Copies of this chain bind each other. A is one copy, B any other.
Amino acid sequence: MPNKKKNNDNNGNSFDRFEIRLSGSGGQGLVLGGVMLSEALATVDGKNVVQTQSYGPEARGGASRTDLVVSDGEIFYPKPMALDLLLAMTQESCDLYVGALKEGGLLVYDSHLVTQVPYTNAIGIEFTQLARQEIGIPIMANVISLGAICALTGIVSEKGLREVVKRRAPRGTEEKNMAALEVGLKVGREAKKRIAV
């Protein structure tokens, strides 16, 4: 059986289990985003992570998702049971997975692509629009979302993300990926101020 759940404590404090789902459509770079997040958590922040992609009928319909279970201890049960954080980059993925959030879990969504939000603890950011306008490459919405998740939740260190995004970026795209990360950190911090008031 899984570890007992505790709340996540931001910025380096210990926690037993934190569950993340990154969801949207194929071509939005969510799997690579999840690999970057997992590697930052594991190789820089010292967490244990199990990342899972399930490919079934939804994948054939174009949907894409990746799940991360993060812990300071051993991870006995690799599937998410109740999400602490859901990233929804399409309306379809939002509708499909919002029910998997635990009570008080956080929904982060692309506010241009997700227009019906059936959940209150939710933060909308125009990830794809920002990627297009600030970076010039829509798919870099994935890295912008990682920066926002970092600023909003503190689950991963900025240092970890910077190291791994640089290392994992396809050759020749390092600078744009790093710029996308900074955009995400900035909009995440701004969004956090809004909800903290």
Contacts and interface: CB of A to CB of B under 8 A. Distances in A.
* Chain A: number of interface residues, binned into ranges: 20 to 34
Q: How many copies does the complex hold?
A: 2
A51 interface: yes
Contacts of A117: none
Interface in A21-36: 26, 31-32, 35
A10 interface: no
A53 interface: yes
A51 B46 contact: no
A55 B39 contact: yes
Contact of A43 (B35, B41, B60): B60
A129 interface: no
Interface string A150-180: 0000000000000000000011100000000
A87 interface: no
Contact of A50 (B42, B43, B52, B172): B52
A31 B54 CA distance: 14
B38 A60 contact: no
A48 interface: yes
A59 to B, nearest CB: 5
Interface string A39-67: 10111001111111111100110000000
A39 B26 CA distance: 10
Contacts of A79: 78
12 contacts: A39-B55, A41-B55, A42-B55, A42-B56, A46-B60, A47-B55, A49-B56, A50-B54, A51-B54, A52-B53, A52-B78, A78-B78
